[in-house]
Structure 1
């Protein structure tokens, strides 16, 4: 299957060729024909599957080949996304795939002055990519008018829920035409997200390219049992390995991200932090430095990293395990994207072993343990097996799923840079 087989117009095929795209990913192959037929779509796809192109390409074709309004351009497509970084990435995709069309797009998000965004809107755009808060603000100021909207895309719906944006999303939906094409994408489908999908989609086609909460087979995963006080030393030891060319390091808090960054810089490792307290310019500088190789380690919180899209990212490191198993899937999905290989390491202390079992249950596999490392917690296997026996045979915490049986530790890995053969 090639893009030529998807009945795409020449301006888009030319742009895809420039980008080096030859064959569509599974979600692109399945979604593009459905969207071109003007049907509603429910897409369940994890990060790194080529989802943005799956909706951007057919949207560009629909708008390019459709009737254009006379006079000032009107917003015909709205893409709603949870983070500034993801909005910017989507904007870059529309610029790349639509470079040979006559369509205009703009991106609006909070945390920066609205002046340039308002100017772009006043000059007229066909496609608007927005985060919920800034969009509602500009709608209320009457700078955004959605009367002529034809296509509505809700991207990363589950993250919208996690970030508390669902009420804003529902407000926005009341302000767009009922007669429209709706494309709904989510990596996971919790009950509230399924209910939202049911209320805004009309006879949708469903595309599910991977099982819910599964991790890509191209990602080589391993876990390091380590005392909490030794985590910083182990991270520095790992990043000093030349096999790690670039690493996206996850921490739970903004303060933690800043602290780890200072520790790495002190150890002579080029690092930057990216999180919600950073200015937009600082976040973009850090991201650019990471993409061009000037920075080896980018330390990020989950929300800030959701929109990061970096080709050939070699490693993801969980400095702290997330307490929500699905977040682990989102994190390591930043590597091993669109069929390429990647490596994911997780540093697990005694307090996080219950999180590890939850993660293994959700992804349906045991994560091999790396024992050949200088800070290995010797009692780890015993502590890990005993943690399921607490509280009458369950380590279940309030709001968490029941635990499964103890996982095996697996065989040790030899080297940080080893990839699955």
Structure 2
């Protein structure tokens, strides 16, 4: 089995990877990191959550030159949320570098202050650019962002980029870069309509279709439990106290949720350690030491803030929902079941998280469905066994289906109104996307007509 230590990376990268306990590369990382570090352009087809982010970030940081005060790499992704996730991962990798050599990373997405960004770019250029195609293109064409100096371009989630109509912007960005540009294209699927773009910019790229596989140790019992109308705080408390774990770690996606859940559990009489980015460094260090000394039986933590926790004997992991960065799921679960010891991982999900549960399963993770009832966990049913049926001719997204199919008895007042509002918002969003695509198509047709 490959290790990150096989790649002869710079020490700064190993320092950062050690902090988040990344030691074994995923399949896509194992296959493509050595190729990318050779300077080859690649097309990687792999599911979301398979580890693509670090597949391109690690080589980018490997060839990063702290002395070159210019844009060296550009990463585009079709949504603000994805851009934020990549930005967070990049900032974390940068922590391994000395303070005076850490890369300047610029995050540029729609909905932020463009005028302020232009003003900042007048004095300082970022060395690594991350953002949505529209905003990056706007800043370049306005003369603010010098992407023409970059030697590498990453197009993340290329199929979604095309579906949302952003390919012309990516085309313009790529066209502004050097001819010897190294392009890294990652996508869950490679649709036929994407081929002309790939042929235009990639000459003899390495094309890899990665079957997504993740391995959870056989010593881990991996359970999936739906809230079924229970409040998450209540369910977490019941799961923590139904047995007597040697050490239990509860992972949350945000520091705000970590604070909220910790307060709830403490109010119920549990002695809980709280670890997240909002804790002052001195207090956090002291808490970490107490955890190492087993002064706490229960710990609530966020993913990156929990990087110092590596305690033999952790017997229970609870995921307070699916992690935002899917590849962290395996790292969370892997905190238990170590050294041949048995462990249990329980993932809690709401009805509107069906799509994210499916995304984790697409990574190769297998859950045992369970139901919590009267103080114990009982075998549940496979969520996928029911065929989706609807009287409406309108096709809903999986998130909408999850909302509609939730039990309708014993629900809070106004729940039906929430469903209708959610469906209306979803329809409005789709309509905006369609209108934007139609306008772009019309502008493109007009431009072609004027060029003749």
Q: Which range, TM-score by smaller chain?
A: 0.5 to 0.7
Q: Aligned ranges for residues 250-261 of structure 1 at < 5 Å? A: none
| Equivalent in the alignment of 1:147 | 148
- 1:110-149 map, 5 Å: 119=120, 122-124=123-125, 127-132=127-132, 135-136=136-137, 138-149=139-150
Alignment partner of 1:248 is 2:251: yes
Per the alignment, residue 335 of structure 1 pairs with: 332
**2:367 corresponds to which residue?**
367
Alpha-carbon separation, structure 2, partners of 1:50 and 1:391: 34
Structure 1: how far apart are the matches of 2:144 and 2:353?
A: 50
| Residue in structure 2 matched with residue 76 of structure 1 by the alignment | 72
Aligned length: 359
Residue 93 of structure 1, CA deviation = 1.6
* CA–CA separation in structure 2 for the residues paired with 1:80 and 1:367: 33
* Cα distance in 2 between the residues matched to 1:32 and 1:363: 19
Partner of residue 285 from structure 1, selected from 245, 255, 278: 278
Q: Which residue of 2 aligns with 1:409?
A: none
CA distance in 1, matches of 2:221, 2:40: 37
2:106 corresponding residue in structure 1: 108
Q: Residue 276 of structure 1 aligns with which residue?
A: none
**Equivalent-residue separation in structure 2 for 1:250 and 1:374 (angstroms):** 28
Greater Cα shift, 55-64 or 158-167: 158-167
Report the counterpart of residue 216 of structure 2 in structure 1: 217
Q: Deviations over 1:233-274 (max 9, x none)?
A: 2122235675564433469xxx9999878755754777999x
Counterpart-to-counterpart distance in 2, 1:166 and 1:347: 37
2:377 & 2:56 partners in 1: Cα distance?
Answer: 46
Q: Give, in whole Å, the separation in 2 of the partners of 1:386 and 1:19.
A: 39
Contact 1:225 1:348 (8 Å CA) reproduced: yes
| CA–CA separation in structure 2 for the residues paired with 1:333 and 1:193 | 33
Is the 1:41–1:204 contact (alpha carbons within 8 Å) kept by the matching residues of 2?
yes
Q: How does 1:316-335 map to 2 (within 5 A)?
A: 317=319, 319=321, 332-333=329-330, 335=332
How far does residue 90 in structure 1 lie from its aligned partner after superposition? 0.9
Query: Where does residue 91 of structure 1 map in the other structure?
Result: 91
Q: Which residue of 1 aligns with 2:346?
A: 345
After TM superposition, give the deviation of residue 347 of structure 1 in Å. Answer: 3.5
Q: Secondary structure of the equivalent of 2:89?
A: helix
2:16·2:93 contact (CA, 8 Å) conserved in 1?
no
Contact 1:109–1:134 under 8 Å retained in 2? no
Q: Which has the larger radius of gyration?
A: 2
Which digits, 9 at most, give the CA deviation of each residue in 1:313-372, with x for residues without a partner? 9845254x89xxxx89557345257999796523467x6798799679746675224467
Give the RMSD, CA atoms, in angstroms.
5.9
SS at match of 2:104: strand
Cα deviation, residue 151, structure 1: 1.0
For 1:277, the equivalent position in structure 2 comes to none
